[in-house]
A and B are shown apart, each in its own frame.
Chain A
């Protein structure tokens, strides 16, 4: 069951990235960047089950995501507000897809408004699925990110 959750997280994250922003995961060796600015975006769901999802990603990824969503030309810069807005909407879609993939389409789930904050330090990302089964760790165009699922009691 735990491994299945990791699989759902990985699949949902990969599919939404591809379908929404035409971005694809790669098989790079685990090597999170140092000296980057990192964002932490969270959203919670409530229904027959409740919990939350939390995405830890670099600001560089958020800027790429924004540029792809807005169809920006290379060289055009995104603002911080645009990046935060894009990553919040990305998580809204990921969470909507996650609850139906994990719990089916019978029940109604209410999602919170996503929140994003900039982390003061470089986060420690998990690199072992066995130790943290509710974590998906992915590299997307060279940018490492982590999607964490926390189920409420």
Chain B
């Protein structure tokens, strides 16, 4: 299995930040693909296999919840772990996301350390040598 990641967020800035954060937490991650909405995400998934997806909720064209629902109905995509990265703080919505089968939830803004804690079990990776003390610097997210 590869360790590629797909980031789905309508903000190019946020995709770029998340990409930088994933690299900064120094896990053994492969390619990082990007999509600006659910439709683009499905197109990327038809081209590439990924190990984990980081998905925003509030996006035009196809929201994160619509994407999640579509993927769970597709035998080829239903087992890809999805981590929701959103501003959402409603417990009811978070419970709904878990019922829909999300693998993790992380609320924006978050720290690189929080992202690492979510990704490690999903990727089944070990951290790279020398990464035990992450220099968080201004890497808040």
Interface set of A (CB-CB < 8 Å, partner B)? 16, 18-22, 66, 68-71, 81-82, 85-86, 88-89, 92-93, 95-97, 99-100, 105-109, 111, 113
Could you tell me the distance between the alpha carbons of A134 and B17 in the complex, rounded to whole angstroms? 31
- 6 cross-chain pairs, A with B, having the tightest CB-CB distances, nearest first: A96-B87, A100-B89, A20-B109, A22-B138, A89-B11, A19-B109
Q: Flag if A92 contacts B58 (CB, 8 Å).
A: yes
| B98 CB–A CB distance under 8 Å | no
Could you tell me the distance between the alpha carbons of A111 and B16 in the complex, rounded to whole angstroms? 22
Partner of B89, one of A16, A71, A92, A97: A97
CB-CB nearest in chain B for A89: B11
Residues of chain A within 8 A (CB-CB) of B13 are 66, 69-70, 82, 85-86, 89
Q: Flag if B11 contacts A85 (CB, 8 Å).
A: yes
Q: Flag if B138 contacts A105 (CB, 8 Å).
A: no
Q: Flag if A95 contacts B90 (CB, 8 Å).
A: no
Closest Cβ of chain B to A53, distance in Å, is 12
Residues of chain A within 8 A (CB-CB) of B12 are 81-82, 85
Q: Flag if A20 contacts B58 (CB, 8 Å).
A: no
| B100 CB–A CB distance under 8 Å | no
CB-CB nearest in chain B for A83: B13
CB-CB nearest in chain A for B92: A108
7 more A-B contacts (CB under 8 A) besides A99-B89, A111-B58? A19-B111, A86-B11, A86-B13, A96-B87, A100-B89, A109-B90, A113-B59
Of B14, B87, B93, B108, chain A has the most CB atoms within 10 Å of the CB of: B87
CB-CB nearest in chain A for B58: A111
